[in-house]
Amino acid sequence: MRTSSGGKEPDSDTPLCGHDQIMRIAPALLMTALGGILADAVTVDAPGINVNALGAVLFFVGLLWLAVEVGLQLAARRPPRPRRPAPAPRRREPSRACDPVMRPRPSKPPVDHDAPTRRL
**Residue 61: how many other CB atoms lie within 10 Å:** 14
Asked if pLDDT for residue 54 goes beyond 80, the answer is yes
Asked if pLDDT for residue 4 goes beyond 50, the answer is no
Asked if pLDDT for residue 86 goes beyond 70, the answer is yes
Asked if pLDDT for residue 53 goes beyond 50, the answer is yes
What's the CA gap between 118 and 120, in Å, rounded? 6
Q: Which residues pair with 49 in a beta bridge?
A: 46
| Res 56: pLDDT | 95
Question: pLDDT tier at 37 (50, 70, 90 boundaries)?
Answer: very high
Asked if pLDDT for residue 68 goes beyond 90, the answer is yes
Question: pLDDT tier at 43 (50, 70, 90 boundaries)?
Answer: confident
Of 8 and 76, the one with more pLDDT: 76
CB 35 within 8 A of CB 59: yes
Q: What is the mean pLDDT of residues 33-53?
A: 89
Domain residue limits, the chain: 18-77
Q: Which residues pair with 15 in a beta bridge?
A: 8
